[in-house]
Chain A
Amino acid sequence: MSPELGHLAVIAALCLSFFQAVIPMVGSFVGHRSWMRLGHSLALGQFVFLGLAFVCLISVFIQDDFSVAYVANNSNTLLPLHYKVSAVWGAHEGSLLLWTLILAGWSGAIALFSGHMPQTFSARVLSILGFISLGFLLFLLFTSNPFERLLPVSPLEGRDLNPLLQDFGLIAHPPMLYMGYVGSSVPFAFAIAALIGGQFDSAWARWSRPWINTSWVFLTLGISLGSWWAYYELGWGGWWFWDPVENASFMPWLMSTALVHSVAATEKRGVFRSWTLLLAILSFSLSLLGAFLVRSGILTSVHSFANDPERGIFILWFLVIVVGASLLLFAIRSPQMANSTTHRGWSRETILLVNNVLLVTSTATIFIGTLYPLFSDVFQLGKISVGAPYFNFFFVPLMIILMLALGFAGFTRWGSTDVNLLLRRGLFPGLLSFFIALLVPALLTDSSSGSSYSFTAGITLFVSAWVLFMTIEDIYLKSRGSWINTKRFTGSYWGMVIAHIGLAACALGVGMSSSYDEQRDLRMMPGDAVKISDYEFRFGGVNRVDNANFVAFRGEVSVTDKTGMTINLFPEKRNYKAGGQVMTEAAIDASLARDLYVSLGEPLQGEAWAVRLQIKPLVRFIWLGSVLIGFGGLLAAFDKRYRRRKKVLDGQSNRGGLAFE
């Protein structure tokens, strides 16, 4: 398939998105049913055309058509087939096409599964999504067309895909992350449609909750895949750097997490309505801001795409129009929505409020830290960068408080809860966690090597154990100690339980791996050995290994543990033939309890090499926990009751845009 076909398909999708933005919206105001219905088919049509464009781009990559600039820049004849396909979204232009395709995918899904919502409402949702899509397609066509040809002089050979991106993690990570990023436009569209219609009640929350949860799950998994990729592919054992691009995805995640919780209160009790709306708008705004930061090159980062101020200007105007208009709409419309119920003292509403305040505060601190270098540059205060300690200074304590409050989540009731009851419930898990926190680090303290009791580990253990025990106690009490009763639990409840345990696991991984992490950078000759805690690392030297698209220097490091078991690890230093880049390929022996992480630095004099040896206890729990969080979110999103309500609501849908109250 030719690049021109793909180009035409994008133009066709652009036209459809324009109609999708205009026709259903106008229809919803004049009450024209067929116009409103048109939104559904337009959304699906757009998805088909963008799918076609995407397939075209893939086929151009497979054919090694280097007359297409994007292919020449990001592929190479020597590249294995699966990387030629993933190279499609390896750089700015193609990833933007993927972005628009995913957006069309979300709109298509809404078109298919919105039967239980009033037609005026779903028409407006689709129209808003159409508008967003219009913006991104214009951006794609005018500033970043992946189908642009390099004529008349086209190169014989491409430049190759950045070897960092030649990896499974990068095949899966961007699509997953974009599903989450773009997914946040769905709650946004729901919020704007609610503001336009003035209809914002529990029914609204019920319709949007599965969508909010699903997009949040994708964002969760996308971020954790990214961190896992950075861990094993960047070669130095770090898994989170507070890098601007990471922050750009983490801020919408924190905001969406707040949204997931606040919309629960809105659905069940009709409270926090304006707040929920604002969160939906803000998490989408932060996604857009993230796109802006990553693609304008305004902040430097290891992951950012090429600098191009013109692209930056475009997204920024789009951001200003979309976010400005929606915040204005919010300011004008939201005061009409008064809370219908009250809550007092300790209640589930209060706990959720605490959750929201903490999450929003941490987002704000990250936001300031991420943008501060920019402010400083603009106001001529000098070129600066904000280091990781700043972010940890705020984020860690806030998360500790969050997890302490989270322990009570299951026991609180809507409306009000007896404080004494909460204290009674918390007594036993609290004491147990305290002993664990006291005991385990003390046992791990090795006085011979001069290490002392680790408070970081103690606090981590306390909060993780606290969340775990409180959750188990809650399950036990709710099921009255019998497994049969657990069958009555809803998907939402299981989702909450699993996600909270996942958070505890994740926190455990973060805290333990950072407090008991052992790392040595050494100059090693073949035959040299070094003992780090219970392991002896022996360096066997380096061999040259030739591969299809790279030449590797492969080191051999054998690790012997206390019991005499020996593992051989083969870290590599790779020179990619086509791009000429050098890559560190770490060798990892992974297990649930600890990772052994060995990477080759650079060759030194003679046969000596610089080598980095690391032991990372419980580091796997970080990603295991994130997967649990995602799985919990998915369970909650597919709770049966969202489907059961459908019939009830069908009867009401002919009431159109009127508020239910």
Chain B
Amino acid sequence: MNKFAVFAPLALFLGLSMILFLGLDKDPSILPSALVDKEFPEFDLMALDDEHRQITREELLGDVTLVNVWASWCYACSVEHNMLNKLSDRGVKIVGLNYKDQVEDAMLWLENLGDPFVYSVSDIRGRLGLDLGVYGAPETFLVDAQGIIRYRRVGVIDERVWRNEFRDLYAELLVEAQ
């Protein structure tokens, strides 16, 4: 009896660690997003740099796009910005969603830190943000060529996050689009 009993702690521990490994894939802090695999919501907003240019959901179609929610008041966005610049240099199409911001502040920010966005839409009232269920900035949505949201990231994107969460899916979607 004793011979087997001494192995019990080890067996229990190994079982536990299996569950812990499985559990690491779950992130309890992120509320389940109802939007993944749904269509990107309709919107009709003006471009950040040109108030006469109206942008709608149609402009997202046809290409695989990253939609990045940012604002000049957002500290974490400045941390992330460098990464976005790099991604845009690598040819990733990034659309900015300037969230609850002042146009002048936002323009100044892009002048100082560089502009990785194909264009930014100006969501001063946070209307689109509400439709997207945005918690805050930064947040990033990966939208496929059909305008379907395929992935959502709450928080900063850095090299590691890109590699682990976006890169493969992005490549897949590119293939899919062609």
Instruction: Using CB atoms and an 8 Å cutoff, list the residues of chain A in contact with chain B.
Output: 69, 150, 152-153, 155, 159, 274, 278, 281-282, 285, 292, 296-300, 307, 309-310, 312-313, 316, 319-320, 323-324, 327-328, 330-331, 334-335, 371, 373-375, 377-378, 383
Query: Does B89 sit within 8 A of A, measured CB to CB?
Result: no
Partner of A153, one of B7, B9, B82: B82
Query: Does B34 sit within 8 A of A, measured CB to CB?
Result: no
Interface stretch among B13-21, B51-59, B116-124, B137-145? Answer: B13-21
Q: How far is the CA of A327 from the CA of B11 in the complex (A)?
A: 9
Q: How far is the CB of A536 from chain B (nearest CB, A)?
A: 44
Ordered by A's residue number, 7 sampled pairs between the chains whose C-beta atoms are within 8 Å are: A298-B23, A299-B28, A309-B24, A310-B160, A330-B6, A331-B9, A377-B28
Contacts of A377 in B (CB 8 A): 23, 26, 28
Q: Are A316 and B13 in contact (CB under 8 A)?
A: no
Interface stretch among B60-68, B73-81, B169-177? Answer: B73-81
Query: Does B22 sit within 8 A of A, measured CB to CB?
Result: yes
Q: How far is the CA of A153 from the CA of B19 in the complex (A)?
A: 41
Chain B interface, number of residues (Cβ within 8 angstroms):
30
Given contacts A327-B9, A335-B2, A383-B28, contact A155 B75 (CB under 8 A): yes
Partner of A150, one of B2, B13, B79: B79
Query: Does B27 sit within 8 A of A, measured CB to CB?
Result: yes
Q: Are B27 and A307 in contact (CB under 8 A)?
A: yes
Query: Does B3 sit within 8 A of A, measured CB to CB?
Result: yes
Query: Does B113 sit within 8 A of A, measured CB to CB?
Result: yes
Q: Are A374 and B20 in contact (CB under 8 A)?
A: yes
Q: Are B19 and A375 in contact (CB under 8 A)?
A: yes
Q: Are B28 and A300 in contact (CB under 8 A)?
A: yes
Q: How far is the CB of A366 from chain B (nearest CB, A)?
A: 14
Partner of B13, one of A296, A307, A324, A375: A324
Q: Are B9 and A378 in contact (CB under 8 A)?
A: no
Q: Are A335 and B3 in contact (CB under 8 A)?
A: yes
Q: How far is the CA of A274 from the CA of B78 in the complex (A)?
A: 56
Contacts of B79 in A (CB 8 A): 69, 150
Query: Does B178 sit within 8 A of A, measured CB to CB?
Result: no
Given contacts A153-B82, A159-B75, A335-B3, contact A324 B17 (CB under 8 A): yes
Partner of B29, one of A285, A292, A300, A335: A300
Q: How far is the CA of A371 from the CA of B81 in the complex (A)?
A: 37
Given contacts A278-B9, A320-B17, contact A297 B27 (CB under 8 A): yes
Max count, chain A CB within 10 A of own CB: residue among B14, B24, B27? B24
Q: Are B17 and A316 in contact (CB under 8 A)?
A: yes
Q: How far is the CA of A557 from the CA of B113 in the complex (A)?
A: 50
- Bits for B72-101, please: 1 = Cβ < 8 Å to A, else 0: 000100110110000000000000000000
Given contacts A278-B9, A328-B10, contact A298 B28 (CB under 8 A): yes
Of residues 119 to 168 in B, which have CB atoms within 8 Å of A's CB atoms?
160, 164
Partner of A155, one of B20, B21, B28, B78: B78
Q: How far is the CA of A69 from the CA of B156 in the complex (A)?
A: 13
Given contacts A309-B25, A323-B13, A335-B2, contact A292 B20 (CB under 8 A): yes
Q: How far is the CA of A41 from the CA of B21 in the complex (A)?
A: 38
Q: How far is the CB of A555 from chain B (nearest CB, A)?
A: 30
Q: How far is the CB of B115 from chain A (nearest CB, A)?
A: 14
Given contacts A374-B23, A378-B26, contact A327 B10 (CB under 8 A): yes
Q: How far is the CB of A324 from chain B (nearest CB, A)?
A: 7
Q: Are A327 and B20 in contact (CB under 8 A)?
A: no
Q: Are B6 and A274 in contact (CB under 8 A)?
A: yes
Q: How far is the CA of A274 from the CA of B6 in the complex (A)?
A: 9
Q: How far is the CA of A104 from the CA of B157 in the complex (A)?
A: 35
Does more than half of chain B's interface fall in helix, strand or loop, or is it mixed? Answer: helix
Q: How far is the CA of A313 from the CA of B24 in the complex (A)?
A: 7
Q: How far is the CA of A374 from the CA of B26 in the complex (A)?
A: 9
Q: How far is the CA of A374 from the CA of B22 in the complex (A)?
A: 9
Q: How far is the CA of A316 from the CA of B20 in the complex (A)?
A: 8
Q: How far is the CA of A623 from the CA of B108 in the complex (A)?
A: 54
Given contacts A299-B28, A327-B10, A383-B28, contact A378 B17 (CB under 8 A): no
Q: How far is the CB of B154 from chain A (nearest CB, A)?
A: 10
Having A309-B25, A328-B10, A375-B23, one finds 18 other A-B pairs with CB under 8 Å, namely: A152-B82, A153-B113, A155-B78, A274-B6, A292-B20, A297-B27, A297-B28, A310-B164, A316-B17, A319-B17, A324-B14, A327-B10, A331-B7, A334-B6, A335-B6, A373-B28, A374-B20, A377-B26
Q: How far is the CB of B76 from chain A (nearest CB, A)?
A: 9
Partner of B78, one of A153, A298, A371: A153
Contacts of B22 in A (CB 8 A): 378
Contacts of B13 in A (CB 8 A): 285, 323-324, 327
Contacts of A330 in B (CB 8 A): 6, 9-10
Closest to A154 in B: B78
Contacts of A334 in B (CB 8 A): 6
Q: How far is the CB of B100 from chain A (nearest CB, A)?
A: 14
Q: Are B9 and A282 in contact (CB under 8 A)?
A: yes
Contacts of B32 in A (CB 8 A): 383
Q: How far is the CA of A14 from the CA of B164 in the complex (A)?
A: 27
Q: How far is the CB of B2 from chain A (nearest CB, A)?
A: 6
Max count, chain A CB within 10 A of own CB: residue among B13, B79, B81? B13
Closest to B4 in A: A331
Closest to A293 in B: B20
Q: Are A296 and B24 in contact (CB under 8 A)?
A: yes
Contacts of B10 in A (CB 8 A): 324, 327-328, 330-331
Q: Which 5 A-B pairs have the closest CB atoms?
A: A327-B10, A331-B6, A378-B22, A374-B23, A331-B7
Closest to A158 in B: B75
Q: Are A316 and B9 in contact (CB under 8 A)?
A: no
Q: How far is the CA of A228 from the CA of B22 in the complex (A)?
A: 35
Contacts of B20 in A (CB 8 A): 292, 298, 316, 319, 374
Q: How far is the CA of A323 from the CA of B79 in the complex (A)?
A: 37
Q: How far is the CA of A316 from the CA of B18 in the complex (A)?
A: 10
Contacts of A378 in B (CB 8 A): 19, 22-23, 26
Q: How far is the CB of B59 from chain A (nearest CB, A)?
A: 29
Max count, chain B CB within 10 A of own CB: residue among A69, A309, A319, A378? A378
Q: How far is the CB of B40 from chain A (nearest CB, A)?
A: 26
Given contacts A153-B81, A327-B10, contact A297 B160 (CB under 8 A): no
Q: Are A298 and B2 in contact (CB under 8 A)?
A: no
Q: How far is the CB of A114 from chain B (nearest CB, A)?
A: 28
Q: How far is the CB of B116 from chain A (nearest CB, A)?
A: 13
Contacts of B17 in A (CB 8 A): 316, 319-320, 324
Contacts of B2 in A (CB 8 A): 335
Closest to B78 in A: A155
Contacts of A274 in B (CB 8 A): 6
Given contacts A153-B81, A335-B2, contact A309 B21 (CB under 8 A): no
Given contacts A316-B17, A335-B2, A335-B6, contact A309 B28 (CB under 8 A): no
